[in-house]
Amino acid sequence: MFYREAGQFKTSYKADQAVFPIFQDRIFVAIWLFLGFVVVPMLANEYVFRAIFIPVIIMALAAIGLNLLVGYCGQVSLGSGAFMAVGAYAAYNFMIRIPELNPLICFLLGGLSATVVGVIFGIPSLRIKGFYLAVATLALQFFTDWTFSRIDWFTNYTPSGSIAVQPVEVWGFVFDSPIRKYLLCLTVLVIFTVIAKNLVRGRIGRAWMATRDMDVAAEIIGIRPIYAKLSAFAVSSFFIGVAGALWAYVHLGSWEPLAFDINLSFSILFMVIIGGLGSIVGGMLGATFITLLPLFLNQLPIWLGINMSTAMVSHLEYMIFGGLIIFFLAVEPLGLARIWQITKEKLRLWPFPH
Amino acid sequence: MGFFVEVLLSGLMAGVLYSLVALGFVLIFKASGVFNFAQGAMVLFAALTFVRLLDILKDSFAPITLSLIITIAMMVMLAMAIERLVLRPLVNQPGISLFMATLGIAYFLDGFGQTLWGSDIYTLDIGIPKGSIFILESVFDGGVLVAKEDLVATVIAGLLVVTLAIFFQKTRIGRALRAVADDHQAAQSIGIPLNYIWVIVWTVAGLVALVAGVIWGSKLGVQFSLSLIALKALPVLILGGFESVLGAVIGGLIIGAGEKLSEIYIGPYVGGGIEYWFAYMLALGFLMFRPQGLFGEVHIDRV
């Protein structure tokens, strides 16, 4: 009744090619932005920011980045934790070695370093396909794990190998309270989402999708695979690298050498799959789901008033997490984004289904 | 020279153990096209079940046989449950979804095994001889030091590979498995029941996991880290090729030897610990020349 495009005529190409061609969608996005930037900061408390909003937002950024590579370009990567690590450590090194540099620039430089690494490790994708590539990207994961724990230069010779950083300060404005950190992350997420959305609508995104659907055919119609695949690796690792820098500086504050290990890679991939391959909204939904699920499972025994040892809780958590993953894949293999799409289709007819 | 051979041999024997885990992957990938990440978790689960049953049944007349039988029964049930609850609902889904589902299985099994049996480190002793012996004393000065348990493991692994080869080549079920591996639909249309075949494959993979778990377990103790040897088996897989049993064995040997040799001869120059990633880099290097692994099937893309 409320959600239909009847009567919305497009009279120019510009209107036809808008990101959100339907009026109600624009209102919907505006409401979300209003909620995110105005309502949430007024209502939420410190714990909620620190435990829920900030990690969800940063993970959403990483998931969108990985989705560009896996969902749009079809190159399965298990190395996203490594790209986050590269982003984080590069930002750290830029910041301590060139102190006069603006931290935001450092984050972007961290992302660019991840891009360089991504392109180098994307080169095998020109030769290797499918699961062979997925396993090959693990090489990067283990290599960075080793590099950042064994080569002391990267950690600035701290004795334990763990790093603690100061709050981010931009032009005298210190991002120390959770609410400021939240707004910083949210702003970054919004900017990067707009970039991602426009990339996948444009020429480059179409080249990625053609490569994903059938790379030989894409080559025949004139898409150079080296350009398509490496650009996907570059953009994706830039996103993930920036997310890694934010994760380290804004969320963690101090971190151990193995903070960016293979489990992080897997959970980002989970976010992409559960959220929905080839969907920007999917990345956000998946990040929300996968970040909140362990929190929820952790709290569940307390809410239910059951007394359990912590080891038992963590084992049960593993079980339920694994079970839910399988359940979700079986019920909706196309991910949460598909459920969202179905809801929209239904809404168009509601409340008169005929 | 004697030292070099010693390192090489210990590497090769470690490689045999990697091959055992990789074999489980290959079996499942061949027959169902599923990239089974849960193989490591299955190794842990099988070993945990076995070692705990051994403890419970230690006063009975034949503890090892009894717990072996019960563990095998549990692996069969596990295979049936996986087929019914995971594979069947996800039939015809893209490979990546199935891969994610097996990650789910891995999480589930890790949690389930430890909930059921506890998460301590258990020692497993089923009479595999310990200690080391010197061999080839006539060839090298002072001979070559080899651990006895490694020798036993190598023999067991060799037997297992031969058994599997015979099973695949000579039996009726083995032929059906190969048919399913070649073409699901064609196999189904000539009357091979797919679901039944999947149960068998996962059972066989479970048994391979049990063997791997028992051998690794008696070497290192049964503990959570057993689950992580799956990560060691992955480079073996891509090196040897996903579809080849022989590839898993040869790949394991190459990776095992390469890892140990590099750790001894290159490691000291770059700070040590390169075992951690060397296998992956080695496999990656190989893949640049043969993208389908050493013995994998060459896929021809048609438009």
Q: How far is B303 from chain A (nearest CA, A)?
A: 6
Residue A354 lies in a domain: no
Q: Are A200 and A280 in contact (CB under 8 A)?
A: yes
Q: Do A322 and B242 touch (CB under 8 A)?
A: no
* Domain B2-289 class, CATH top level: mainly alpha
| β pairing state of B132-135 and A163-164 | unpaired
- List the one residue out of B255, B252, B253 whose CA is nearest residue B22: B252
The amino acid at A40:
V
- List the one residue out of A221, A214, A271 whose CA is nearest residue A56: A271
Mutation target vs A (from B28, B86, B277; most A CBs, 10 A cutoff): B277
- List the one residue out of B72, B34, B105, B83 whose CA is nearest residue B199: B83
Task: Please tell me which residue of chain B has the smallest CA distance to A276.
Answer: B97
CB pairs under 8 A between A and B: 144
Residue A13 lies in a domain: no
In order of A14, A351, B241, the CA distances from A6 in angstroms are 19, 15, 55
Cβ atoms within 10 A of the Cβ of A221, count?
9
Residue A296 lies in a domain: yes
Residue A89 lies in a domain: yes
Q: Are A124 and B226 in contact (CB under 8 A)?
A: no
Q: Do A146 and B85 touch (CB under 8 A)?
A: no
- List the one residue out of A33, A40, A148 whose CA is nearest residue A88: A148
What are the backbone angles phi and psi of residue A170, rounded to the nearest 5°? -120, 120
B241 phi-psi bin (left φ>0, alpha ψ -120 to 50, beta other): left
CATH number at residue A96: 1.10.3470
Number of domains in chain A: 1
Residue A77 lies in a domain: yes
Q: Which residues are bridge partners to B122 per DSSP?
A: B222
Task: Please tell me which residue of chain A has the smallest CA distance to B281.
Answer: A139
pTM: 0.88
Say what the ipTM of the complex is: 0.83
Residues of B in contact with A135 (CB under 8 A): 234-235, 237-238, 280, 283
Task: Please tell me which residue of chain B has the smallest CA distance to A310.
Answer: B115
Q: How far is B289 from chain A (nearest CA, A)?
A: 9
* HSE, side-chain direction, 13 A CA sphere, residue A197: 14
Mutation target vs B (from A223, A319, A320; most B CBs, 10 A cutoff): A319
Residues of A in contact with B237 (CB under 8 A): 135
Mutation target vs A (from B34, B119, B238; most A CBs, 10 A cutoff): B238
Task: Please tell me which residue of chain A has the smallest CA distance to B107.
Answer: A322
Omega before A99 within 30 of 0, i.e. cis: no
Residues in contact with B152: Cβ distance below 8 Å, sequence separation at least 6, in sequence order: B128, B129
Alpha-carbon distance of B29 to B25, in angstroms, equals: 6
Alpha-carbon distance of A163 to A174, in angstroms, equals: 20
The residue written with tokens 């804004």 in the block is A250
Which of B112, B114, B280 faces A142 most closely, judged by CB atoms?
B280
> By CB neighbour count within 10 A (0-12 exposed, 13-18 middle, 19+ buried), where does A85 fall?
buried
Q: How far is B291 from chain A (nearest CA, A)?
A: 5
Q: For B121-143, what is each residue's pLDDT tens digit?
A: 887 777 666 666 776 666 666 66
Which of B97, B103, B280 faces A138 most closely, judged by CB atoms?
B280
Domain that holds residue A43: 20-349
Q: Is A163 helix (H, G, I), strand (E, B) or coil?
A: strand
Q: Are B57 and B66 in contact (CB under 8 A)?
A: yes
Q: Would you write out chain A's pLDDT as a tens digit for each of its 354 residues?
A: 577 777 788 888 888 888 887 888 888 889 989 988 888 888 878 888 888 899 999 999 999 999 999 989 988 888 899 999 999 999 999 988 888 888 888 999 999 999 999 999 888 888 888 888 888 888 888 888 888 887 778 877 777 778 887 777 777 777 878 888 898 899 999 999 999 999 999 999 999 999 998 888 999 999 998 999 999 999 999 999 999 999 998 888 888 877 888 889 988 998 998 888 888 999 999 999 988 888 888 887 778 777 777 777 788 888 888 888 888 888 887 888 888 888 888 887 777 776
